[in-house]
Amino acid sequence: MTTEKSPEVDEIGLLCGEEQVGQYTVKGWTLRQFQALLPILLEALKALQAMGISWDDLGTDQTKTLQAVQAALEVLTPRAAQVLALSLGISEDEAGDLNLATATLLLVKVIGHNVEHLKNLPARLTATIQALSPGGS
């Protein structure tokens, strides 16, 4: 007998998922973290757009995905300590003192835990607005 989870359960599980990397817990951003990171994320998005890369290309087009990783690294690397500090709830000094391998792994995990949320954000916002609108859509 198989039981299927409802979409709401899957969504909550996805949003609440976390992963332990050494002593750090990587999980989805809170609204406060997202707001603090938004200027950096918008800069990364502009870099992707300048290269002709859309969210839909990520993970589906290997060449564009590799270009996106390069563009994202160019934007995120100078701000890696800030991104990690905000995402992991640690100080920028602690984040800046991480060895390169650990910092890189954590940055990849942080982005990995949150990129799907960012890709699906427009659809989620539209669905939420429609659900809250009196009389439906």
Q: Are 26 and 109 in contact (CB under 8 A)?
A: yes
Torsion angle, alpha carbons of 80, 34, 116, 19, to 10: 70
- For the record, the structure tokens of 119 come out as 């890709």
* Rounded Cα gap, residues 104 and 101, in angstroms: 5
* Global model pTM greater than 0.75: no
pLDDT in tens, the chain (137 residues): 444 444 444 444 445 578 999 999 999 999 899 899 989 988 888 888 888 877 667 777 788 778 877 877 788 889 999 999 999 999 999 999 999 999 989 998 998 888 776 666 666 667 667 777 776 55
